[in-house]
Amino acid sequence: MDLPNRLPAIESANAKKFAAEMQSFVQANVHASLEDMIAEENKLWLRHGHSWGQVTSNSTQNELKATRAEGQVQFDAIRKNEVSALADATAHMINSMAGQIKTDIYQSISAAAESVGNVVSTSAAGSTPAAFLEMIKKIEFSVGRDGKVQLPALHLGVGQAEKLIAELEKQPPEFRAEFERVKAEKSAAALEREQQRLSKFDK
């Protein structure tokens, strides 16, 4: 008798434990894939059956957007004891969820920037280097927990980083001098804002 391709999973204590461990594993790896985009103190997660909030505080968020991913393991792979099939399905879920979250982040940032007119156009600036310099002028630098200025990070598509670096390296010394002037000015302003913030706690 031929067995169906899909069989209902038997709910048991071991099955529940496996599901919980799988959820923790996927979540930890999605966390890791977002480390270069979101500071840990700014991450909010919804744990199924638990509360919604930050790991390090009791902050809440009003809007909630679901991120879904599905991993499938074929019955034949289980029958043949192909352990790699589970690893492949898990990796697919992790990559899918992380990709969706990153897309949402880029879209949210883009919408927020456009809503206040804080955008830069290469065509309007005249060149990519000029647009890059204009972009730096529009950004406020921040200060990390170590008291040091954190320079902004650039997120570019495949191959775009190399192209941008090559174009910036071709610029004359005057361009580099202007960039360094803006960077120093932005860094000083960030340190001053941080000092003003800290002074409020000294009173």
Confidence of residue 71 (pLDDT cuts 50, 70, 90): confident
Does the global pTM surpass 0.75? no
Q: Averaged over 53-77, what is the pLDDT? A: 66
Report the pLDDT value the prediction gives residue 65, as an integer from 0 to 100: 72
> In this structure, how many other beta carbons lie within 10 angstroms of the beta carbon of residue 190?
19
Lowest mean pLDDT among 1-5, 10-14, 70-74, 92-96: 1-5
For the chain, give the percent of residues with pLDDT over 90: 31
For range 77-101, the mean pLDDT:
88
- Residue 199, amino acid: S
Which residue has better confidence, 135 or 72? Answer: 135
As given in the structure block, the two tokens for residue 61 are 């968020």
Q: Torsion over CA of 199, 200, 201 and 203, rounded to 10 degrees?
A: 90
The position carrying tokens 């067995």 is 3
Q: pLDDT, tens digit, for every residue of 90-124?
A: 999 999 999 998 888 888 888 888 888 888 989 99
Q: For residue 1, what pLDDT is reported? A: 46
Strand partners, 54: 44
Most confident of 11-15, 51-55, 144-148, 166-170: 166-170
- Looking at every residue in the chain, the average pLDDT score rounds to 82
Contacts of 48 (CB under 8 A, 6+ apart): 23
DSSP bridge pairs for 52: 46
Burial of residue 196 (number of CB atoms within 10 Å: 0-12, 13-18, 19+): exposed
- Summarised one tens digit per residue, pLDDT across range 116-146 is 888 898 999 999 999 999 999 999 999 988 8
**CA 148 vs CA 15, 105, 141, 154, 188: distances in Å:** 48, 25, 10, 19, 11
Phi–psi pair at 143, nearest 5 degrees: -120, 130
Tokens coding 42: 């700014």
